Chains A and B, each alone.
Chain A
Amino acid sequence: MDIIGKTVSRKDAWEKVTGQAVYTGDKSESGMLYAEKVISPYGHALIKNMDLSKAKKIKGVKAIITGGNLPLTGEEIQDRYPIACEKVRYHGEVVALVVADTPKCARQAADLIRVVYEPLPVVNTPGQAFDPNAPLVHEQLEQYKKKSTVYPEPGTNIANRSKIRKGDITKGWEKSDVVIEKRFSFNPSDHVAMETRCALGRIEADGKVLITSSSQAPFMIKRLISEYFGIENGNVIVNTPLVGGGYGGKASIQLELLAYIASKAVGGRLVRVQNTREEDILTSPCHIGLEATIKLGCSQEGLLQAAEILYLWDGGAYSDKATSLSRAGAVDCTGPYHIDNVWCDSLCMYTNHPYASPYRGYAHSEVLFAFERTMDGLADKLRLDPLEFRHKNAIRPGDTTPTQVLLNKSNVGNLPECIDRLKTLMEWEKGQKIDLGHHKMKVKGISCVWKTSTIDTNAGSGVILTFNPDGSVNLLSGVVEIGTGTKTVLAQIVSEKLKMKFENVHVQIKVNTQNTPEHWKTVASRGTFMAGRAALQAVDDAIGQLKHLASCVLRAPVEDFEIGRERVYLRDDPSIGLSYKDLAYGYTYPNGNAIGGQIIGRGHYILRHLTYLNPETGAGKPGPEWTVGAQGVEVEFDTREYTYKITKAFSVIDAGKVLNPKMAEGQIMGAMSMGLAFGGRETFYFDDLGRVLNPQLRTYRPLRYGENPEYICEFVETPQIDAPYGSRGVGEHGLLGMPAALGNSLSLAAGVSLNQLPLLPELIWRKKEAANRGDSL
């Protein structure tokens, strides 16, 4: 292959290193207005009174919008007003919006709005939410409109219950000689994309709604604005320029609704709504928290027999994407192992916390932290090497998943091989724990990972290829460039299949829902698979047209033609042929006659054979394939101070086929870095009123330059047969096992079970102290 599997530069490279790259917040127009938010300072409170009088007097204020008269919104359950009405349910919730000439003026007016609140009792953890006597976050749960595939339980704080009933759990326990049960928890945290969310809205005189947004889901914005506000679907047009990092956080629709509402309040003028960093952390959806109880049983020989699992997700104040996350957590509720008997209840709980959006890995790194920590505990009980134990139970073709999908050589990667490679890379035989002297030790921890994507069963993607007169081609796809380089990979796919130079494939980076074919959402590591399939079909379509035209001009049957070097030629006599350039805009004969027309290739792809899950057993096919991997970390631990340094992080992922090595490696490293920060330091600190105490980048600390470990990434290549060139999704997988591997290494180092995140030295110290006092952990 010429270009597949090669490192080629990104199509968006030069604009990004020269400052020419345009993001939503870079757009400005004269006459643009600015919206600023008033947000709730409480986690749960009644809005008793709002005094707008002072704010209204500020010169330049065009409109002040408060709750009421707005539709309820939400992707699966419509439970959220875009601006709070009568009640606030989380710290940061929008209670009013001020639209003014300048951001300063809007801010000044917003600060003058006086709101009187009456604080209510706060639901501060999912466990507390589960208590039958807990205050209700939503009293009207029963009345909300919802999709048929979500199962809320009115009268409780349960927004969704997903059940997995595989095999016979009683039999599973009977066959188990060794049993372990553990509990885990961590608070919500944040994505911290460097670009804070931003949306622009305008309504034209003919009723067209124009939205520009830093979003991973422009087509979903179009669909939802149309649905919520009763606007004809085709009258909503969404633009998405480059997006400054998403990681799932920009797949939720929020500011776009405010931009529309604000524009409507000022007669359709262009309005910008942009988050400050603090608002981006508080007001906009965050990374979900979890409380988990995991009970595992296995035979004397170390074969897993039973898993009984309870997940209580901290979905926050509104269910938006959290119900779907709780479903994804059920779908892959165990680690990547063969277990015949699985019982799981995965509950999305309403709490008075910021609400959740997808986060890289879509509930998998969270589940894996709990599950893989339990696996280490069980290995320890069995006195088995943790890698060996995992190898023994590794999921393989012929096994079934928790939702009872039968796996084959194509729809699951090769986990045993990933484990073997990891073993070598980590020099496992040298020992898991090495004393370095001076109160220092080196420890290793591991985790296996897997993931399928639980996305809409009818999610689709389209690609259009239009030819230029010089024979080069333009690639149009609805995939959003959020940093993952997917459009570069699509260009590689087109270049390979069309046998065209990579430089001659021009990519439109921006998405405009009116002229770009839809790509469901740029999430779930599915861009390359779905858009890649569409691209292949579009190329076939174009090749068909090229050959057809050549067959007319050269008077030979279509089947006799081949393509190569940007030419269509006769297989048996390549000297007879025409270049793409001669055919791109139709063919013109020497006398001026012309036939054909611009070559336009069309392709689409829709995920196949996916089903809804059975509400009682969970049985069903949630996603097209499972990418697997084995990961580890090496940590230097100080046994006196409980501080540590992560020196190395390892990933062996079965990528199916690596399409662009350096870019794939970059995806894995970036994800590992994020996963280590999630595991090691990132969390929201809440007070008793449900307030987030650390909404700034100096109190909420992502990894900085120099705090990263050395990364060791390797790939296994077991092709997914129905994917472009066999490649599997890998955008999220580097993150998945990092918190678990870190937890496993530090638990081993400290000699105590560390079952909370983040793994700060203080947590280790507390656990040690408790253990020394003889408290139960």
Chain B
Amino acid sequence: MSEKKSKKVTIDMNINGEKVETDILAADLLLDVIRNNLGLTGAKPGCLNGDCGACTVIINQKPMKSCLTLAIEVGDKEITTIEGLLHSPVQKAFVDEFAFQCGYCTPGFILNSHALLMNDPNPNKEKITEWLSSNICRCTGYKEIENAIQAVMTKTHNKNDSD
């Protein structure tokens, strides 16, 4: 077999509000680039097949599976990883509601929930299920995650009411 010399290219990324430059191969997965090149290991590999959602990040306000995304595609888009969220209501609610156990699926679930509430602050049950069924949690019974989302919605509601 002839060895093809794969060439690295430099791309600019816009991640968690910062501009970064990194060298990648055209075939590199976004997941690998954010974990290995940028050291942001909150996004996890769970299947590398689009089945589990552990690798979820937010790209231009939408949750995306970074194992199904090539790094080279995301050039000018805004990416948020779990490291870019600090003290967000969803994180707080996950803590209060015990919506995690081992924590491995948690960054994916939090980002997915966060994106959902960003897109629709008041989703109905069906919509929540539609969005969150793309992720797998093997530890919890999902009820806790549902409670966490409900808690955020109730809070936003109450806040809006009192405003």
Residues of A within 8 A of B (CB): 9-10, 12-23, 25-26, 28, 54, 57-59, 112, 191-196, 242-247, 276-277, 482-485, 662-663, 666-667, 669-670, 672-674, 696-698, 702-708, 710-711
Contacts and interface: CB of A to CB of B under 8 A. Distances in A.
Contacts of A669: 140-141, 143-144
Nearest to B28: A104
A277 B142 contact: no
Contact of A244 (B81, B83, B102, B145): B102
Given A194-B52, A662-B98, A670-B139, A21 B145 contact: no
Nearest to B49: A696
Contacts of A674: 138
Contacts of A672: 141
A195 B102 contact: yes
B41 A26 contact: yes
A112 B3 CA distance: 13
B135 to A, nearest CB: 7
Contacts of A19: 40-43, 81-83, 107
A126 to B, nearest CB: 27
B63 interface: no
Nearest to A102: B36
A705 B133 contact: yes
A9 to B, nearest CB: 6
Among A16, A194, A698, max chain B CB count under 10 A is at: A194
Contacts, number: 162
Interface stretch (B70-78, B89-97, B155-163): B89-97
Contacts of A57: 1
B101 A484 contact: yes
Contacts of A710: 143
Interface of A is mostly: loop
Contacts of A13: 95
27 contacts: A17-B100, A18-B86, A19-B43, A20-B83, A25-B44, A54-B1, A112-B1, A194-B44, A194-B52, A194-B104, A196-B46, A242-B103, A244-B103, A245-B104, A277-B48, A277-B52, A483-B100, A669-B143, A670-B138, A670-B140, A673-B142, A697-B51, A698-B49, A698-B51, A702-B136, A705-B146, A711-B141
B38 to A, nearest CB: 12
B103 A12 contact: yes
A245 B145 CA distance: 17
Contacts of B33: none
A193 B138 contact: yes
B49 A243 contact: no
A196 B98 CA distance: 23
A16 B106 contact: yes
Contacts of A59: 3
B136 A704 contact: yes
Contacts of B52: 194, 277, 697
A353 to B, nearest CB: 22
A280 B128 CA distance: 30
Contacts of A17: 82, 91, 94-95, 100, 103, 106, 110
A707 B146 CA distance: 12
Contact of B139 (A21, A26, A483, A696): A483
Interface string B8-29: 0000000000000000000000
B140 A195 contact: no
B85, B129, B139 — most chain A CB neighbours (10 Å): B139
B118 interface: no
Interface of B: 1, 3, 35-36, 40-49, 51-52, 54, 81-83, 85-86, 91, 94-96, 98, 100-107, 110, 128-129, 132-133, 135-146
Contacts of B86: 18
Contact of B101 (A15, A276, A670, A708): A670
A244 B142 contact: no
Contacts of B46: 194-196, 277, 697
Given A670-B141, A703-B142, A697 B136 contact: yes
A20 B102 CA distance: 13
Contacts of A23: 44, 104
A667 B100 CA distance: 10
B137 to A, nearest CB: 7
B140 A696 contact: no
- Closest 4 A-B residue pairs measured CB to CB? A19-B42, A244-B104, A483-B102, A669-B141
B133 A195 contact: no
A12 B129 CA distance: 27
A18 B138 contact: no
Nearest to A697: B51
A22 B95 CA distance: 18
B125 to A, nearest CB: 8
B111 to A, nearest CB: 9
Given A669-B141, A702-B136, 13 more contacts: A16-B100, A16-B106, A17-B110, A25-B44, A193-B104, A276-B48, A277-B51, A482-B102, A483-B102, A669-B140, A670-B140, A704-B142, A706-B128
Nearest to B40: A19
A662 B148 CA distance: 13
Given A666-B144, A669-B141, A483 B103 contact: yes
A194 B136 contact: yes
A194 B138 contact: yes
A770 B36 CA distance: 56
A184 B54 CA distance: 36
A483 to B, nearest CB: 3
A192 B52 CA distance: 11
Contact of B143 (A20, A21, A484, A711): A711
A459 to B, nearest CB: 23
A247 B98 contact: no
A705 B1 contact: no
B98 A705 contact: no
Nearest to A13: B95
Given A13-B95, A19-B107, A245 B40 contact: no
Contacts of B136: 192, 194, 697, 702, 704
Contact of A196 (B1, B45, B102): B45
B116 to A, nearest CB: 11
